[in-house]
Amino acid sequence: MAKSLPLRSEVPVQETWDLQSLFASHEEFNEALVSLEKEASDFHSQFHGKISNPSSVIEALAAYMAFVEKLVPVSTYASLTLSTDQTDSEAQMLSSKFGSVSAKIGSQLSFVSSELLALPEETLEAAMKESNEFRVYLEKLLRKKEYQLHPEAEKTLAAYSATFNAPYGLYNTTKMVDMSFEDFEVNGKSYPLSYVSFEGDWEAEPDAEIRRAAFDAFSEKLKDYQHTTAKTYDMQLQMEKTTSDLRGYDSVFDYLLFNQEVDRTLYNRQIDLITQELAPHMRKYAKLLQEVHGLEKMTFADLKISLDPTYEPEITVEESKKYINDALGIMGEDYLDMVERSYSERWIDFAQNKGKSTGAFCSSPYGNHPYILISWTGRMNEVFVLAHELGHAGHFYNANREQNVFNARPSLYFIEAPSTMNEMLVANHLLKNSEDPKFKRWVISSIVARTYYHNFVTHLLEAAYQRKVYERIDAGQSVNAGILNELKRGVLEEFWGDAVEITPGAELTWMRQPHYYMGLYPYTYSAGLTISTQVSKRILNEGQTAVDEWLDVLKAGGTKTPVELAQMAGVDITTEEPLRDTIAYIGELIDELVTLTKEIEVKQ
């Protein structure tokens, strides 16, 4: 049962991450920031107006790369310090200070791209031949040439970068600082409520009366902030549309997909195929939940409940290590060494406290080790969440060692493949080690309810909604709370049909995700999981060969496009086949849940 959250200062140190490998103190961080400002100024004096031939291109990029490497820990420290307690005044100021200095530095160094793109293409091609280290960077830069503005315009836009990031900061402040939840009551008994406790506990509460009351209380508080949040979001959208128009993209979609290195065909396919073909399977799953729990009606507030809440194993952080190690052992000793270090060297922030960012994420600063944020609830499904984030960690642990800072990060389209891959490895491992029908049903329902529901339903429905929002923006319109509520409700009703009642409050789900401030991110979860589902099947069938190829993909970082990375792993995402096969696989899992449930009921 959820408890009131402690202050950050009250949680045990061993449950928190150790940021000292970045900076030993705020003072050291501030000194590094001052030093970076001076270095940026020196870099500007040394190279501005002097990049003219292949050798000066290479010299400037080598110095620029060294500067970026120093910027990474400063940026990461500012971000991570705030993420564990957004109510912390000192952390707020630290983050704001970095934002303003970063914008100043970005403006000062914007000349690098401008001067490189002003050179004849033959000069850049000659530089690529002379130094393979910067080939990928220059190839990606050349793709942007037609969208590059005048150097002074680029400099001005870079100076406003902190302002352009403001909507996301405002969203987080509204959500994590201003929004305070009161206790809710059921049958005269009072229960504490917070963002973390709702998403970590109450959403999955087996008692329908308590669960629905929590949903209603949570939704009422969201409603109080819907207009501010909608205005914040519209600000983000209008800035993206203006930037898209200024740079000469045909649409805001083309602008946002450009850096993902995929076209709208792949984007639309994920949304359209899943919306149409997965919906019948998920409606069957919703009906199964309704039957097993004896619910008179299935509502939106009931979708996150466990198929068998009596069989939800409790698990400590320490106990999770064995499951993670056993499941990910197939990835090899080096990978397991990283997992061991993540626990022993406190790379992971497990604590639940007031002001902490919701959900989970992994930050992987170049030149350092990854950091994982999670709010550990003690439920077994946290093993899947942790495995997911360790998938991101393992990806960049490998890519950062093999590639330079410019080449380490792949397209956003591919980013969720290594993370969801680890969830599949956990599921496969658990299924292999038990024939008990109740345990098998728990594992399969975890895959459906955690891995696939989260990535193929929650995030995919965000993507379907987001596409409708951007269609309005592309047509020169804006949005407000009423419009966003209507769009979200429409998407939910279309997907769930008559299997689920979309009760009041469900339409406010758009307020809960930070992903909308990160471009066209939500659809990439299903894209990544499509790839990882296919690769996990290969690993089951082919073993070490498939594992070795997957590790090569992780090491490739951003040196290949998403299509090329998937091809390296034996998956062709230029066709519908991998996605259709994955949807069919989800259908098979749900059918197996129905069969196992009947088998268990007969035995009882």
List, for residues 252-298, the tens digit of each pLDDT value: 999 999 999 999 999 999 999 999 999 999 999 999 999 999 999 99
Q: Which pair of structure tokens corresponds to residue 604?
A: 């009882």
For 85-102, write each residue's pLDDT tens digit: 989 999 999 999 999 999
Residue 182, classed as helix, strand or coil, is: coil
Q: What is the pLDDT of residue 240?
A: 97
For 490-540, write each residue's pLDDT tens digit: 999 999 999 999 999 999 999 998 999 999 999 999 999 999 999 999 999
What's the half-sphere exposure (Cβ side, CA atoms, 13 Å) at 524?
23
Distance CA 571, CA 530 (A): 9
Count of Cβ atoms closer than 10 Å to residue 89 Cβ: 8
Residue 333 has pLDDT above 90, yes or no: yes
- Cα–Cα–Cα angle for 318, 319, 325, rounded to 5 degrees: 95
Q: What is the pLDDT of residue 435?
A: 80
Distance CA 148, CA 351 (A): 44
Residue 5 has pLDDT above 90, yes or no: no
**Confidence band (pLDDT; 50, 70, 90) for 196?**
confident
The stretches of 14-149 forming alpha helices (DSSP H) are 26-47, 54-83, 89-109, 111-118, 121-130, 135-143
Residue 387 has pLDDT above 90, yes or no: yes
CA 542, 322, 366, 154 torsion-angle sign: positive
- List the one residue out of 315, 555, 317, 326 whose CA is nearest residue 425: 326
Class in CATH terms, 254-302+408-604 = mainly alpha
Distance CA 133, CA 65 (A): 11
Distance CA 5, CA 363 (A): 24
Q: What is the pLDDT of residue 176?
A: 85
- What letter does residue 190 receive in the DSSP assignment? E
Q: What is the pLDDT of residue 3?
A: 63
Distance CA 595, CA 112 (A): 61
For 480-499, write each residue's pLDDT tens digit: 999 999 999 999 999 999 99
Residue 248, classed as helix, strand or coil, is: coil
For 545-554, write each residue's pLDDT tens digit: 999 999 999 9
Phi, psi at 133, each rounded to 5°? -55, -35
Instruction: Give Cα separations from 47 to 41, 67, 357, 371, 547 (angstroms).
Output: 10, 13, 40, 34, 44
Residue 223 has pLDDT above 60, yes or no: yes
Q: Where are the domains positioned within the chain?
A: 8-164, 254-302+408-604
Bridge-partner residues for 190, per DSSP? 185
Which residues touch 403 (CB under 8 Å, ≥6 apart)?
A: 555, 556, 557, 558, 559
Count of Cβ atoms closer than 10 Å to residue 566 Cβ: 25
**Confidence band (pLDDT; 50, 70, 90) for 2?**
low
Contact 306, 204 (CB under 8 A): yes
Contact 325, 336 (CB under 8 A): yes
- Cα–Cα–Cα angle for 13, 14, 17, rounded to 5 degrees: 80
Contact 552, 568 (CB under 8 A): yes
b/e code 178-196 from CB counts within 10 Å (16+ = b): ebebeebeeeeeebbbbbb
Q: What is the pLDDT of residue 604?
A: 67
Which residues touch 285 (CB under 8 Å, ≥6 apart)?
A: 448, 590, 593
What's the half-sphere exposure (Cβ side, CA atoms, 13 Å) at 418?
32
CATH, range 8-164: 1.20.140.70
Residue 596 has pLDDT above 60, yes or no: yes
Residue 4 has pLDDT above 80, yes or no: no
- Cα–Cα–Cα angle for 216, 219, 222, rounded to 5 degrees: 155
Same fold: 8-164 with 254-302+408-604? no
Q: What is the pLDDT of residue 446?
A: 87
Distance CA 110, CA 159 (A): 9
The pTM assigned to this predicted structure is: 0.90
b/e code 293-323 from CB counts within 10 Å (16+ = b): beeeebbbbbbbbbbbeeebeebebeebbeb
Q: At what angle do helices 151-159 and 89-109 cross, to 10 degrees?
A: 170
What's the half-sphere exposure (Cβ side, CA atoms, 13 Å) at 504?
6
Mean pLDDT, residues 436-444 taken together: 88
CA 550, 80, 3, 168 torsion-angle sign: negative
Count of Cβ atoms closer than 10 Å to residue 135 Cβ: 18
Mean pLDDT, residues 574-586 taken together: 95
Residue 224 has pLDDT above 90, yes or no: yes
Mean pLDDT, residues 590-604 taken together: 89
Instruction: State the virtual CA torsion across 295, 296, 301, 303 in degrees, nearest 10.
Output: 50
Mean pLDDT, residues 353-367 taken together: 92
Q: At what angle do helices 417-432 and 382-402 cross, to 10 degrees?
A: 130
Mean pLDDT, residues 124-136 taken together: 96
Mean pLDDT, residues 51-72 taken together: 98
Distance CA 467, CA 272 (A): 11
Which residues touch 517 (CB under 8 Å, ≥6 apart)?
A: 167, 168, 171, 233, 236
Residue 434 has pLDDT above 90, yes or no: no
Contact 196, 5 (CB under 8 A): yes
Distance CA 45, CA 48 (A): 6
